[in-house]
């Protein structure tokens, strides 16, 4: 249920007894920026077991989201942005008929770039029940952890380059330019032509600071009629590797795609941290014509 609309910003509950976000709030964006927060402004830290949602609507075609603060527990606490006005599972009394598409997820303390999406969007924040060991971008503890996220409307696509958000086309199919990391599921049509995919989405992986913890990205491929396979070659590879005292599951795996769109059977190819670029240069024939590449990272990424 939605929080009490009579509560002050950053509080919720029947008697405004909660000093952190809880429930779902409807927010209407305007050309002047408003802010949503993990806790009331000026409070020392966000609370454990926070569970909040903001449905951000707009009378214009696009909404701009800009993190001005981000210091949440890396890999445990997440801000997520979904396409459309539908609340994902866990943020409404009834489950949605179909899960909304995840557009972006933020964790840790690295400020994301300025984000622009087709309106409306649904923003969620969840923290676990443990201590919120947020750190600053320099790695030192941050006793004032949390996030501030400003949002505002853009009147049209012409406003996007004018506001310094993009210097090129949209990063398809996610309505944003130069995302700093991959997220969700993307389609790569026309597999017979050259294309690429990256943990850093709209920018070169070599130029990215890092890929985030607990990320899952998928890219779907379909071999066009008349073609019999796919060819893959890694151009940059710097992923956490298992060592004598550490173990990691970070990897890219390619599967044939089942009728339900999910990976089917064992991976036909796997590239792990510590592998060489030469290990990711191969061709294989297609039997179904459809493939899905999956990148998953675990909790820590000390590359």
How do residues 38-50 score in pLDDT, each as one tens digit?
A: 876 666 677 777 8
Write out the two tokens for 21: 């976000």
Q: What are phi and psi of 161, to 5 degrees?
A: -65, -30
DSSP per residue over 216-285, as a string? EEEEEEEPPTT--EEEEE-S--------SS-----EEEEEEE-TTSSEEEEEEEEEETT--GGGGEEEEE
Q: Is the peptide bond before 120 cis (omega within 30 degrees of 0)?
A: yes
- What's the confidence (pLDDT) of residue 11? 60
Compute, in degrees rounded to 10, the torsion defined by CA atoms 76, 118, 27, 75: 0
Q: Which of 211, 179, 248, 213 is nearest to 74 (CA)?
A: 213
Q: Which residue has the higher pLDDT, 73 or 245?
A: 73
Q: What is the C-alpha separation between 173 and 187, in angstroms, rounded?
A: 7
Q: Is residue 244 over pLDDT 70? A: no
| Cβ–Cβ under 8 Å, residues 66 and 115 | yes
Structure confidence at residue 257 (pLDDT) = 84
The token pair at 159 is 């406003």
Mean pLDDT of 181-194: 64
Q: Is 45 helix (H, G, I), strand (E, B) or coil?
A: coil
pLDDT for res 122: 93
pLDDT tens for 136-146 read 666 666 666 78
Q: Which of 23-37, 63-77, 104-118, 248-262 is predicted least confidently?
A: 23-37
pLDDT tens profile 52-91: 888 898 888 888 889 998 888 888 888 999 989 998 988 8
SS3 55: strand
Structure tokens at 126: 């969840």
How does DSSP classify residue 210?
-
5: pLDDT confidence band, cut at 50, 70 and 90? low
Res 170: pLDDT? 46
CB distance 39 to 49 below 8 Å: no
Per-residue pLDDT at 162? 60
**Tokens read off for 8:** 């002050």
Give the pLDDT of residue 79: 92
Residue 157 pLDDT > 70, yes or no? no
Q: Is residue 294 over pLDDT 80?
A: yes
Partners of residue 222 on adjacent β-strands: 290
Binning pLDDT at 50, 70 and 90, where does residue 172 land? very low
Question: In which band, very low, low, confident or very high, does the pLDDT at 274 lie, cut at 50, 70 and 90?
Answer: confident
Average pLDDT over residues 86-99: 85
Q: What is the pLDDT of residue 1?
A: 36
Spell out where 92-246 has E strands: 102-106, 115-118, 121-126, 146-154, 184-188, 216-222, 229-233
Q: What is the mean pLDDT of residues 158-181?
A: 55
- Specify the pLDDT at position 173: 42
* The pLDDT value given to residue 123: 93
Non-local (6+) Cβ contacts of 5 within 8 A are none
pLDDT at 101: 83
Which pLDDT score, from 0 to 100, does residue 204 have?
Answer: 47
Cβ neighbours of residue 213 closer than 8 Å, sequence gap 6 or more: 74, 75, 107, 108, 297, 298, 299, 300, 301
Put residue 42 in one of left, alpha, beta given phi > 0 → left and psi -120 to 50 → alpha: left
Determine the straight-line distance between the first and last CA of the chain, rounded to whole angstroms: 42
Mean pLDDT of 23-52: 75
In the prediction, which pLDDT does 2 show? Answer: 42
Q: Which of 119, 49, 50, 122 is nearest to 87 (CA)?
A: 122
Which residues share a beta bridge with 216?
A: 296
How much is the mean pLDDT over the chain? 73
pLDDT reading at 286 higher than 60:
no
Cβ atoms of residues 179 and 101 within 8 Å = no
Model pLDDT, residue 192:
47
* Cβ–Cβ under 8 Å, residues 149 and 68: yes
């Amino acid at each position: 249920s939605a929080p009490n609309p009579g509560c002050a910003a950053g509080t919720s509950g029947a008697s405004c007894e909660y000093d952190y976000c809880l429930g779902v709030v409807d927010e209407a964006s305007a050309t002047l920026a408003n802010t949503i927060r993990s806790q009331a402004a000026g409070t020392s830290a966000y609370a454990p077991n926070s569970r909040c949602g903001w449905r951000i609507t707009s009378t214009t075609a696009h909404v701009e989201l800009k993190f001005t603060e981000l210091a949440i527990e890396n890999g445990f606490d997440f801000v997520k942005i979904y396409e459309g006005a539908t609340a994902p599972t866990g943020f409404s009394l009834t489950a949605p008929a179909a899960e909304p598409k995840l557009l972006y997820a933020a964790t840790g303390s690295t400020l994301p770039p300025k984000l622009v999406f087709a309106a409306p969007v649904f923003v969620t924040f969840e923290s676990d029940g443990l201590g919120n060991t947020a750190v600053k971008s320099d790695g030192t503890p941050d006793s004032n952890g949390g996030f501030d996220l400003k949002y505002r409307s853009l009147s049209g696509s012409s406003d996007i380059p004018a506001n310094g958000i993009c210097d090129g086309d949209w990063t398809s199919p996610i309505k944003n330019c130069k995302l700093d990391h991959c997220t969700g599921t993307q389609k790569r049509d026309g597999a017979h032509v050259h294309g690429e995919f990256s943990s850093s989405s709209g920018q070169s992986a070599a130029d990215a600071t890092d890929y985030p913890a607990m990320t899952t990205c998928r890219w779907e491929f379909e071999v066009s009629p008349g073609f019999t396979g796919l060819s893959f070659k890694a151009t940059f590879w710097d992923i956490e590797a298992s060592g004598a005292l550490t173990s990691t599951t970070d990897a890219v795996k390619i599967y044939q795609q089942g009728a339900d769109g999910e990976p089917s059977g064992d991976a036909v190819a796997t590239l792990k941290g510590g592998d060489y670029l030469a290990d990711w240069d191969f061709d294989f024939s297609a039997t179904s014509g459809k493939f899905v590449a999956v990148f998953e990272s675990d909790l820590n990424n000390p590359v």
